[in-house]
Amino acid sequence: MKIGFIGLGIMGTPMALHLANAGHTLYVHTRSQVPEAIGAAGGKRCENAAAVAREAEVIFTMVPDTPDVEAVLFGENGVASGLSKGKIVIDMSSISPMATKGFAKRINELGCDYIDAPVSGGEVGAKAGSLTIMCGGDEAVFERVRPLLELMGKNITLVGGNGDGQTTKVANQIIVALNIAAVSEALVFASKAGADPAKVRQALMGGFAASRILEVHGERMIKRTFNPGFRIKLHQKDLNLALQGAREIGVSLPQTANAAQLMQACAAHGLGELDHSALVQALEIMAGHAVAKS
């Protein structure tokens, strides 16, 4: 197929490569320079998003935030201005569920289909093609594009209509943030109490407290490897979406608000570009004690 991909960052580049390596013709656009790996895989650079939409049958977007998606889709030389009837737009960014419903309606009015398909799994999952993909949209359209999604992910679920994929991603980010905060508190407590945090983590991995967060991010906290797989500032954005949505539907999310404040503390100390496992540093600052030496 002729596939368009807009947004070639940490996540988008490996995701697009899976499509190209499967034999699809790739048309790409990104704000920065097109990565060499994309060019080597046959990716064809387009001047703008509209040009991508004119060339491709299915157009993927993978950009940071709701305003970015709106600009890519409906801004000057955006995707919408290059679409023709029957094409499919798949947004894999993590953005507002309510805005997504509006975007889908506008794309549908052009005679095209829309799937929201945010992902979980980070850079590691993107490179391995093992992402969890949470989809919202028409079932028949979803089945048409499932083979493409299967090139990028393993756990692929159609949750419901447009916006439901994004709602699921927000729920995912709540769970991940709260788990990071829990592991952070546990390791700060154990370390300051005098226990070896590495051995504490090892012991906990064999019990009911075991989790993927404890396994991966607990190790990051101990080894001090905070190079980003998923940046604090992006997780902040997702938690803000959760809190905004909670206000709109009248739900209280007190633990989510607390995690958001811990990430805000990190950002205030210039740590927003670090991996979200660096949330532990907010607790370390308050405790006057680091889990482990750098």
Residues labelled catalytic: 169
> Does residue 49 contact residue 29 with C-beta atoms inside 8 Å?
yes
Q: Quick one: which of 141, 189, 202, 176 has its CA closest to 260?
A: 176
Q: Which three-class secondary structure state does DSSP give residue 245?
A: helix
Q: What is the residue whose two structure tokens read 């029957």?
A: 86
> How far from chain centre, in Å, is Cα 177?
13
Pairing outcome for strands 88-91 and 153-160: unpaired
Q: Quickly count: other Cβ atoms within 10 Å of residue 216's Cβ.
A: 14
Contacts of 65 (CB under 8 A, 6+ apart): 93, 95, 237
- Angstrom distance (rounded) from CA 269 to CA 285: 10
